Structure 1
């Protein structure tokens, strides 16, 4: 048989690593050989000196929180960063994705503008929003994001316990995940007010006004609600190891709870918030170095399910307005360009994580938890999505070269001891280590498992 593409090299399968080759036909993995030199293809890719991972999936991306970013810049950053699929958050400006009309418009935009494959989150309105879940789930939302902290009463509201229970019950019917930004709104609002009244507006005050108890108390409540609703719960951007310890306790009780952390919580500490100021501000905040080490121990022990960017691309002026008062700066930082090499360098090369575990925390577990069809593994029948890493080619991160419109990162000038050799989506090389070779519209909308329609059959 003559394949469209054949890739040979070190291949990371779900439970083992082999030196073999992959035959690709029609954008799918048709065969995996444990030897090399037996398959023929129209295109032959030799990745012998590199490592072939399943395409990385970033489950936490904000393409439209800043309308100046959008899908083209976001997904271009993903392609260049080795990310083959993103799941874009629903807290868009000017309107959140909490109704079917807004959702379908966004689906159309994905098919016109995305460079990489894209799944979409749904959310619910501040009050009585659960009634929209059926339509959004059946239209292809892969999961639903809600919050216990109010960033904006319309776009990013705090959801009441009553409406959380209604949403969880409804999501259980669709076997979809209820995911939460989990911070204690009442405590944080009071602390920020107190800090500003007392003129405590230095960078570290952002962390001090959001102490770990504001995360753990919110998570505890959500896990108890999840227990009684018998619903799947996911906690996004966990910043503290005690939160993970509590999650493990509830897992042992049978609660269906999973958790992610983000690359900044593993690679930065509150000292970097002091050093970089608004550039290193995110929610929840960076923690102490001992907390960072605690998260690493839990990650290596497979107590954290996956890692995301929480890609939040702000412009200079949105960050710099907090130069003299950290509370005025926008929260979040970009990451799609850099998460894969940063995490490979830190997890595999420095902490000794196995290649199989790295594949799970960067791809497989995301696809499994959210039920993303045909993604997350190198297996026959799956999409031919691959992130190929060169472990011997270092490069220096330069924020001016980020594909995101946000040219701000505290990792500017950091040397990473690996690089992205190729990003391949459905058998097509979309990034060759230097240039992006496809345009807007190559990426496709990937519906969630509750989708009622024909796209899953394509």
Structure 2
């Protein structure tokens, strides 16, 4: 009789290298043995041949509850499991509720836990009327990170945090050992330039990018890192669409600032002239998708190791919220949890870049960033046995056909995607078999950070 519950075999791709004919043996949901060649016996054996085995993907930016009575964790975590994502980090801007106290973190963890099919961690934020007084209690309640915005998306649900208050919040976050993540757009610039665009009477796809040009991002990024330098906080830019932003992050890192930065998958895959022109409101997001030339700058930064993590900024707006002929009237954001790792693997292959980038950007670095690397994010003894298995299975993506998305649209609809997930394991259990999501609501667990600041891999 075997001592192991499960053995998984395949081409193991970690951040430090690739093990051909690798294996992981699982006991009680944890990785208990790693090796190559002949695997030990187990009650359940999954041999994936030369398929890619990644650590379970951690999506560091998900909005499960942005639209009331729409997606929720029931569907976001179903899409996640179907895409190879075993942990989502959910944003604090829920419809009708700003997650900004310890009790709110605990209640969201409880209610999400009843629905989630994969594991989840939670961002907290502050209510500008209360200031930073609840930051310590949110950390005690298990928040993995804190989110702020330099832009006023919505005064109640997604408010701007003015500079002096942001400084005060960073001061308190620094005491927790967690990150201060920031939506990086200068409010004054965007407000003025948006009104100027509206005054022209134009409604075309270019108006969105023109209302939020790159300088709006880079001004905000510099402000965030300057506050981090002054307070000692770990500052994280939650999405950057322009190469200049990664240059700025590198400069502050060289000065000793803990300056991390995130690329959403749509900035690496889409361009304004090729995709926004075609998809219109379905491709509207903040910051905007930029030019093909700017997209290639991001790939250069990725190859150089200047991007900390890659995420989705996933939100499943109803198509009615994305269909206005007036570009600026559409809701911002798009669903992409089901295809995040597949798209990144395709991009790496297209550019002859090492597959190890996928393990680092989608698993190991996110685990370190959110202070859960003692639990997840890699191939290590004692870590959760989370795995995502991919093979080349080219198909034209149809988000409505899989049955794993609450909405039947996607910015990637009709795109040829070559890599496909064939299995997802969460704590050793098969939660997606390549066709069906097997995990039921309540299967996912709330992941709390260890609050010890780790080094992010370059």
- Which range, TM-score by smaller chain? over 0.9
Corresponding residue of 1:181: 183
Match of residue 379 from structure 2: 378
- The 1-side partners of 2:445 and 2:109 are apart by 9
Distance 1:355 1:267 in 2: 17
Cα deviation, 1:177-213, whole Å, max 9, x if unaligned, reads 0000010100111111111122022111000111000
SS at match of 1:409: coil
Query: Does 1:273 pair with 2:299?
Result: no
Q: TM-score, normalised by structure 2?
A: 0.95
1:413 CA displacement: 1.1
Aligned partner of 2:91 in structure 1 is 89
Q: In the TM superposition, what are the counterparts of 1:47-66 in structure 2 within 5 Å? A: 47-66=48-67
Q: Is the 8 A contact 1:60 1:311 kept in 2?
A: yes
CA contact (8 A) 2:282 2:410 kept: yes
Give a deviation string over 1:47-105, Cα, whole Å, max 9, x none: 11311110010000000011211000100000001101000000001111011222211
How many angstroms apart in 2 are the aligned matches of 1:36 and 1:290?
47
1:14 is displaced (CA, Å) by 3.6
Please give the alpha-carbon distance, in whole angstroms, between the structure 2 residues aligned to 1:400 and 1:13: 32
Match runs of 1:244-393 below 5 Å: 244-271=246-273, 272-320=275-323, 322-323=324-325, 325-347=326-348, 349-372=349-372, 373-390=374-391, 392-393=392-393
CA drift at 1:20:
2.2
Deviations 1:238-281 (A, max 9, x none): 00001111111111011110001111111111112121110111
Whether contact under 8 Å (2:105, 2:142) holds in the other structure is no
| 1:138–1:450 Cα contact (<8 Å) kept | no
Contact 2:55/2:388 (<8 A) preserved: yes
Consecutive unaligned residues of structure 2, counting only runs of 5 or more, are 453-458
| Contact 1:30-1:381 within 8 A present in 2 as well | yes
Find the residue that maps to 2:377 and give its secondary structure: coil
Between the two proteins, the alignment pairs up a number of residues equal to 446
Q: Give 3-state SS (helix, strand or coil) of 1:130's partner.
A: coil
Unmatched segments (≥5 aa) in structure 1: 452-458
Q: 1:128: how far off?
A: 3.6
- SS for the counterpart of 1:418 is strand
Q: Which residue of 2 aligns with 1:410?
A: 411
The structure 1 segments of at least 4 consecutive aligned residues displaced by more than 6 Å after TM superposition are none
Equivalent positions of 1:428-447 (< 5 A) are 428-447=429-448
**Alignment deviations for residues 90-121 of structure 1 (CA, whole Å, 9 cap, x no partner):** 00011110112222111111221000000010
Alpha-carbon distance between aligned partners in 1 of 2:322 and 2:157, rounded to the nearest angstrom: 20
Aligned match of 1:11: 12
Q: CA RMSD in A?
A: 1.2
